[in-house]
Amino acid sequence: MIYRLKLTDDYPDSYWFQFKKEEISIVDLMQCQEIHSKNPLIFTLNKKISEKRLLSYNIFSSDGPDFISPRLATLLENNEEFVKEVQLLDATVIINGQSHYGFKVFNPLHFLSCIDMDKSESRPLLSYLPDGPKSFTKMVFRQDITKDFWMARCEENTSCIVISDKLKQFCIENNIKDIVFE
């Protein structure tokens, strides 16, 4: 079984970070190619928030890519199988002017055809490209996926990252509670 990578529904709107688009863009991350950069990706948040509560999460949202906590990053970096499939890019998080290090951004290195297009509902993202990228109102995953993987980018919708049962189990075993397995 496969699942869409999604944050818990109780993730506060006030914890949405701004992604500083410099050397690497969100489009670069959708190519499933290794990225070589000397500089970390930068995420900022300038709001009055409980920094302690915010930093208790393991996965964070932004107006660019999602990113993960140093704790989850360390767990995944120590998993040799996982790091063969997913590049973890360094990220610096700046909260009210204070920098925090050790965060990472997922960069899955392969695509997986996983959406059942007959059961899903979509429309062309651009009306003049009817066979181009789709906007999904209902996404149903295929049940016949046999590929052994940890994490991949969905071939039919490149903004969607999917995870496997073994990554779900890894998260459960390591008490990662703020990822929803949908």
Does residue 175 lie within any of the structural domains?
Answer: yes
Q: What are phi and psi of 37, to 5 degrees?
A: -145, 140
pLDDT at 135: 87
Per-residue model confidence as pLDDT tens digits over 79-118? 999 999 999 999 999 998 999 999 999 999 999 999 999 9
Is the residue at 123 inside a domain?
Answer: no
Task: Tell which wins on pLDDT, 55 or 150.
Answer: 150
Residue 20: its pLDDT value, please? Answer: 92
Q: Is residue 130 part of a domain?
A: no
29 found inside a domain: yes
Joined tokens for residue 170: 């890894």
| Total domain count, the chain | 1
| Confidence band, pLDDT 50/70/90 cuts, at residue 67 | very high
Both structure tokens of 92: 């610096």
The arithmetic mean of pLDDT across residues 51-69, rounded, is 92
Question: Residue 73 belongs to what domain range?
Answer: 2-113+141-181
> Given this model, what pLDDT does residue 80 score?
95
Please tell me the predicted confidence (pLDDT) of residue 10.
Answer: 85
| pTM for this entry | 0.91
Mean pLDDT, rounded, of the chain: 92
pLDDT at 25: 87
- 125 falls within a domain: no
For residue 132, is it within any domain? no
d(CA 55, CA 51): 6
Angstrom distance (rounded) from CA 11 to CA 48: 16
